[in-house]
Copies of this chain bind each other. A is one copy, B any other.
Amino acid sequence: MNSKSIRQKEIAEKTGFSINTVSLALKGSPRISEETRSIIMECAKQLNYIPNVVARSLVQKKTNTIGIILTELMNPILTETAQEIEQILKKSGYNMMLMITNSSPEQEAEALDVLVSRQVDGILMYPVFTANFAKIKLLRDNKFPIILLAGGDYELPTDAVYVNRREGAYKAATHFIQAGHKRIGFLGGGNYSDKEKQNGYFAALQDNHIPFDPSLVGRVQSDGYDAGYASIEELYKNAMPTAVICTRDYIALGAMRWCRERGIRIPEELSFIGFDDTAAASFAEIPLTSVKYDVKAVTEKATELLFQRIDEKDKSVAMSIQKISIQPRLVIRQS
Cβ contacts A219-256/B at 8 Å (1 or 0 each): 00000110000000000000000000000000001100
Report if A319 contacts B (CB, 8 A).
no
**Interface size of A in residues (CB-CB distance below 8 Å):** 51
Cβ contacts A45-87/B at 8 Å (1 or 0 each): 0001011111101100001010000001110100110110011
Residues of B within 8 A of A100 (CB): 83, 86-87, 90
Report if A138 contacts B (CB, 8 A).
yes
Give the segment of A164-172, A208-216, A278-286 that binds chain B.
Answer: A278-286
Report if A301 contacts B (CB, 8 A).
no
From B53, B55, B79, A79 is in contact (CB under 8 Å) with B79
Give the segment of A116-124, A146-154, A155-163 that binds chain B.
Answer: A116-124
| Cα of A285 to Cα of B118 in the assembled complex, Å | 48
Residues of B within 8 A of A99 (CB): 86, 90, 95-96
A142-B95 contact, Cβ under 8 Å, with A54-B118, A117-B51: no
Residues of B within 8 A of A52 (CB): 58, 117, 119
Report if A98 contacts B (CB, 8 A).
yes
| Cα of A60 to Cα of B161 in the assembled complex, Å | 38
Report if A97 contacts B (CB, 8 A).
yes
From 1 to 35 in chain A, residues with beta carbon under 8 angstroms from any chain B beta carbon are: 1-3
| Cα of A97 to Cα of B283 in the assembled complex, Å | 33
From 103 to 162 in chain A, residues with beta carbon under 8 angstroms from any chain B beta carbon are: 113-114, 116-119, 138, 142-143
A73-B63 contact, Cβ under 8 Å, with A50-B113, A283-B253: no
The reply to whether B83 and A118 contact each other, CB–CB distance below 8 Å, is no
Residues of B within 8 A of A253 (CB): 283
Report if A257 contacts B (CB, 8 A).
yes
From B48, B57, B95, A54 is in contact (CB under 8 Å) with B57
A74-B80 contact, Cβ under 8 Å, with A51-B117, A58-B55, A96-B97: yes
The reply to whether A95 and B73 contact each other, CB–CB distance below 8 Å, is no
Write 28 A-B pairs (CB below 8 A) sorted by A numbering. A1-B138, A3-B143, A48-B138, A50-B113, A52-B58, A53-B117, A54-B58, A73-B73, A73-B80, A73-B82, A74-B76, A74-B80, A74-B83, A83-B100, A86-B99, A86-B100, A87-B100, A87-B102, A90-B99, A90-B100, A95-B118, A96-B97, A96-B99, A98-B98, A225-B279, A225-B283, A253-B283, A280-B280
